A and B are shown apart, each in its own frame.
Chain A
Amino acid sequence: MAAAGDGWAAAREKFRSARALSAVESRKDPATEPFRSKYAARALLEEVKQLLSGAEEGGDAVRRAVLEYELGVNHADTEELSAGEEHLLRCTRLLEPQRLSRRCVALYIQAQVGAGRGPRRRGGPRRGHASPLLVSPQNNLGILWSERDEIKTAQTYLESAEALYHQYMKEDGNPPLDPSEHFMEEDEQLTDQERSKRFEKAYTHTLYYLAQVYQHLEMIEKAAQYCHTTLKRQLEFSGYYPVEWALNAATLSQYYLSKQCFMEARHCLAAANVIFSQAGQVPSAEDNEAEQDQQDLRQRKAEIARCWIKYCLNLLQSARKLLEDNIGELDLDRQLELKAQRKKEEDEKENGRKKAVLFVTSDICDSVLAMEEKVSCAYPLDFQEAREIFLVGQNYVHEAKEFFQVDGYVTDHIEIVQDHSALFKVLAFFEEDYERRCKMHKRRVDMLEPLYADLNPQYYLLISRQLQFELADTYYEMMDLKVAIGNRLEELDSHTIKKINLLAQLAIKYYELFLDSLRNPDKVFPEELEEDVLRPAMVAKFHIARLYGKLITSDGKKQLENMQTSLEYYTFLVDYCEKYPDAVRAVETELELSKEMVGLLPTRMERLRAKLCAFI
């Protein structure tokens, strides 16, 4: 018995060294021998296995399973997958009969996860993590079915681990033993609190791997749900970096936006803000580094602000979609209808869905709710409601711009200004007064034009084109509004005519600049348009045609010229679509109208010509 006791002490000692080698030493291995410590650890584990099989009484099944598990992980880490798999399977086989026991459940789950898990990435910690990674042995798990592109197999293992967790929690629920404890003395054993912490974290990882599996299998909704649950569990068991957590939550909000789930999106963003505020000051030894960290922190804050901007923008745009009639104006009947509907829903108060997705199981609950109250998640139905969302969005625009200044962050800065412009555009939709609406569009011009003027298209071709098009469209819209205002008057005064013509010419100018950007180095317009610029180019041509038609002049000859130019642009559309029938799909409405105009204009011009001749 004494000999066996000695053997046991030796086994424990070797086991401990192996773990240390594997987890700590292996990080310092030279690039030429990346697995030196791992191999040394493996040799030790094999020795322990020998010792245990020699001494029957010490070699109970669970300890042997722990060894098999460690060996499996070791082989997988050193890129010997098949051997690793064998060990892990042996481990699970040993544990199978008692997998639901307190002694085994944690190990069994980890073996399953290991068997389904992705590859261990070698190389240093990723940038952005200020402190070195803490070493946590039980995280260094097993075999990578996914390495062999067998996601389905990985899924099976992971799902069974998930099921086992639930079954255990239901049937037993006591903090299970941590695998490392099987090689510890009685007095070294962990507290129940520590056990529970480790167990829950291992389970969080199971969910995290499942999120990836579902993402790879393109089960997007399920993947999002698992991402959400992972985040939630990180909060519950306080295993997270605040900044990273906040960024993840903010990014997840963008997923919900694409699904039009505004309540969920808002919740993620509110939680992101609250958790981010915990990050606070980062202490650092060197001033230089501290400054860098501060800069980093400011950037993250601005990134979250940008997610909020998108939230406000999407909410407004979706509301607009609901409310607009077939010519893009506010549909008053629809507005009444939606208001009535909302009233009804408020009375019914459907709260069931909301509970399921909340993060707030902890002390941040109140802060998150307070954060959420600052902006609605319901579709705005009139100008007043739209304006409130607009203002929140605009505040985040200012916040984001504080960091993303044009000097140093050209692309980001312009993207934010574009969002700002888009916010004004959608707010204008809710505005009933045309003069005021026009002023909102003028604000857009004022923010975009100077940026465009400075921007070098040699480096920023794409953004440059976007700005050209947006400016053209804004002027176009302003002209339309001026025409509408003019139509209410008894007679067009010269001031309004001048204004309309000026706006039309500016719109033409920017559409032409856009079209010119498509020319090749020899200034030739492409014979066939690339698919990605096809629609914008055609729309630009079409709008120019219409703009020439709108120009007001009392000079008959000038008018004839404008009609001629207009006809040429309409003809371009018709001819192009005849030559490239594939293009028709992209511009159906525009083509139809162009055809009509190509039919009508010559007759009109003929009439005008006759009238002009009559005067002479």
Chain B
Amino acid sequence: SVEGDAIKVYVRVRPPSEGTALPDGDQGLCLSVLSTNTIRLHSKPEPKIFTFDYVANMETTQESVFSSVAKNIVESCMNGYNGTIFAYGQTGSGKTFTMMGPSDSDNFTHSLRGVIPRSFEYLFFLIEHEKEKAGSGKSFLCKCSFIEIYNEQIFDLLDSASAGLFLREHIKKGVFVDGAVEQVLSSAAEAYQVVLTTGWRNRRVASTSMNRESSRSHAVFTITVESMEKHNEIVNIRSSLLNLVDLAGSERQKDTHTEGLRLKEAGNINRSLSCLGQVITALVDVGNGKQRHICYRDSKLTFLLRDSLGGNAKTCIIANVHPGSRCFGETLSTLNFAQRAKLIKNKAIVNEDTQGNVS
């Protein structure tokens, strides 16, 4: 079906934080939500209208965000498909709130809990349901890993002692982080309490001890769901991944395609121009359909999530925006990014040439 292929884009507008909006209403806001899928940005001279799959206004509840964004993805994960949910936006736009819930709460039952804990609940609810339906013939194994990408380096949040892990590919299992701890999960509460709170705490700890801000790192939480079904003597194993990604604040991502017409600074006059490669790469990119190889790789994040970005997976991006007019620039760039994300599709460039075959 057409709907399964393109990336779904969901925009959520957080309530203005204190001091950004004037108490008496619209003033100080740079956007308004027109309907459940359009948003108007008060740009000058002409206001700009953006259309997305959904637009959540400030009143939208966590529950409603979950059901329109994640429910479907968790379900297809149970059916053997990979799913990914990204949260994108500038620091302070509500990414972590949307994904995790209120930051001061480790409480799994908090009414404001976010997409991640709700996804656990729902996943294990579905697993229980399946088990009941199938009886003893079917069993499940859930494992999870939690990693952080900071400054193009990969850290394992479940093993604070480790550092500098590497991405590798397996012909059957796809991309994986070599050496990352995988923890077996038996319930949603366990997933949340044991793993996520520890992992999240590690992330925060890391942000002080090594002088990095959490908003400068991407956190990728991955659940592997393996189901085993026995029909007589035949064993059928199916496995799928659910990735939950809290991206670094978009204002930090100046290295990626979000960057506009800026010039890159020379690294160091004495040794090297570290960015020259990027300029050349851009030149080669423009080239026509000729066969070519570009020596500079994608970022770690896009490599890890290659399947999700235009692959064989269900993917959703939650673009979080802050409505304050001070955030106009970042909001515009977030909305532009989200707009572009909708165009990402599975590009099946098949090598075919029919010259000489039509006779």
For A536, give the chain B residue with the smallest CB separation.
B350
What per-residue 1/0 map shows which CB atoms of A277-305 lie under 8 Å from chain B? Answer: 00000000000000000000000100110
Partner of A310, one of B81, B280, B292: B292
Q: Is the CB of B268 within 8 A of A126?
A: no
Binds A, one of B13-21, B41-49, B65-73, B170-178: B170-178
B153 CB to nearest chain A CB (Å): 7
Give A300's nearest chain B residue, CB to CB: B295
The answer on a CB contact under 8 Å between B291 and A314 is yes
Shortest Cβ distance from residue B344 to the other chain A in the assembled complex, whole angstroms: 12
B276 touches A469 (CB 8 A): no
| Chain A-chain B contacts (Cβ-Cβ < 8 Å), number | 270
Classify chain A's interface size: 35 or more
B288 is an interface residue with CB less than 8 A from chain A: yes
Q: Taking CB as reference atom, which chain B residue is nearest A154?
A: B263
Q: Name B312's closest neighbour in chain A (CB-CB).
A: A461
CA distance A439 to B270 in the complex (A): 54
CB distance from A583 to the nearest CB of B (A): 15
Provide the bound-state CA to CA distance between A204 and B267, in Å.
13
Using Cβ atoms and an 8 Å threshold, which residues of chain B touch A212? 263-264, 279
Collect the chain B residues with CB atoms within 8 Å of residue A117's CB.
Answer: 263, 265
Bound-state CA distance A520–B76 (Å) is 12
**A202 lies within 8 A of chain B by Cβ:** yes
| Min CB gap B128→A, angstroms | 23
Judging by beta carbons under 8 Å apart, are B293 and A310 in contact?
Answer: yes
Q: Let me know if A138 is at the binding interface, CB within 8 A.
A: yes
Interface presence of B277 (CB below 8 A): yes
Question: Nearest chain-B residue to A472 (Cβ)?
Answer: B352
CB pair A248 B4 closer than 8 Å: no
A220 to B279 CA separation, bound complex (whole angstroms): 10
**Interface code B58-96, partner A: CB below 8 Å = 1, 0 otherwise?**
000000000000000000100111100000000000000
- Least CB distance, B80 to chain A, in whole angstroms: 8
- The interface bits of chain A over 442-462 (1 if a CB of B lies within 8 angstroms of the residue's CB, else 0) are 000000000100111111111
The answer for the CA separation of A251 and B296 in the assembled complex, in Å, is 8
Question: At the interface, yes or no: A230 with Cβ under 8 Å from chain B?
Answer: yes
Q: Which positions 278-320 of chain B face chain A at CB distance < 8 Å?
A: 279-284, 286-288, 290-296, 306-307, 311-312
Task: Please tell me if A309 contacts chain B, counting CB pairs below 8 Å.
Answer: yes
- Selected contact of B349 from candidates A151, A480, A532, CB within 8 Å: A532
Cα–Cα distance between A334 and B280 once the two chains are bound (Å) = 36
| Surface stretch bound by A, among B114-122, B185-193, B254-262, B333-341 | B254-262
A465-B348, A469-B350, A473-B352 given as contacts; is B174 within 8 A of A309 (CB)? no
Closest chain-B Cβ to A111's Cβ sits at a distance in Å of 16
User: Chain A residues with Cβ under 8 A from B174's Cβ?
Assistant: 456, 458-460
Q: Does B346 count as interface, using CB distance less than 8 angstroms? A: yes
Contact A251 B291 (CB under 8 A): no
Closest to B277 in A: A248
Across the interface, A251 reaches (CB within 8 A) one of B284, B286, B350, namely B284
Q: Does the CB pair B151–A454 fall under 8 Å?
A: no
Report if A129 contacts B (CB, 8 A).
yes
Contact residues of B with A, CB < 8 Å? 1-2, 4-5, 76, 79-82, 151-153, 168-175, 178, 211-213, 240, 254, 260-274, 276-277, 279-284, 286-288, 290-296, 306-307, 311-312, 345-352, 354-359
Apart from A215-B279, A411-B169: 20 A-B pairs, beta carbons within 8 A: A119-B262, A119-B263, A125-B267, A127-B151, A129-B272, A133-B267, A134-B270, A201-B269, A211-B279, A258-B290, A303-B295, A313-B291, A408-B170, A409-B169, A457-B312, A459-B175, A466-B351, A521-B79, A530-B2, A532-B347
Give the 5 A-B residue pairs with the shortest CB-CB distance, closest first: A328-B356, A118-B263, A459-B174, A258-B287, A461-B312
Q: List 7 A-B contacts (CB under 8 A).
A: A127-B151, A147-B262, A209-B263, A220-B286, A240-B272, A257-B290, A473-B357
